[in-house]
Amino acid sequence: MPDDTPSILPAGTPAPDFALRVTADQVLNLSELRGAPVVLAFYPADWSPVCGDELSVVNAALPLLHERHAQVLAVSVDNVWSHEAFAQAHGLHFPLLSDFEPKGEVSRRYGAYDEVTGESRRALFVIDAAGTIAWSYLSPVALNPGVDGVLDALGALPPAPNTTAQ
């Protein structure tokens, strides 16, 4: 019997590069962040209760993530205008990237796109300074995964070449 459990890219996989909109006139390329770890959080939709909780927890953990020299990015298929309003309403201090057009292209490359709902799955990735996925986790869509796994994964990374150990 085939396993229908969705899978995301595992640790050890080179992180697919992408260029996604942060605002109507600003694009962020993942490759621009090489040299430091990146926390990449895919989430289903702005304005959903679990997503608001999840990203608020990430926002509250920013000091701990920054202590580990990590840049935080969140991705959904919502458009930049929705992201802007959502980030402002929740006081978020990290980029929300729009995987809007072509819809879900980056989410698909990471195995984090749900073809049935047309949204990103709730998936977390820690990408090391060299651009390799060091840790990944697919959360049930109705659960806030928190940041403990992310913090553990960041703590297990060797110091990036341009940083010093804490």
Given a cut of 80, whether residue 165 has pLDDT beyond it is: no
Other residues' Cβ atoms within 10 Å of the Cβ of residue 17:
13
Residue 119 near residue 45, CB atoms below 8 Å = yes
| Domains and their CATH numbers in the chain | 33-156 (3.40.30.10)
Per residue in 21-64, pLDDT (tens digit) is 999 999 999 999 999 999 999 999 999 989 999 999 999 999 99
Mean pLDDT of 139-155: 95
Per residue in 62-120, pLDDT (tens digit) is 999 999 999 999 999 999 999 999 999 999 999 999 999 999 999 999 999 999 999 99
DSSP strands (E only) in 43-129: 71-76, 96-98, 113-114, 119-120, 123-127
Positions marked active-site: 51
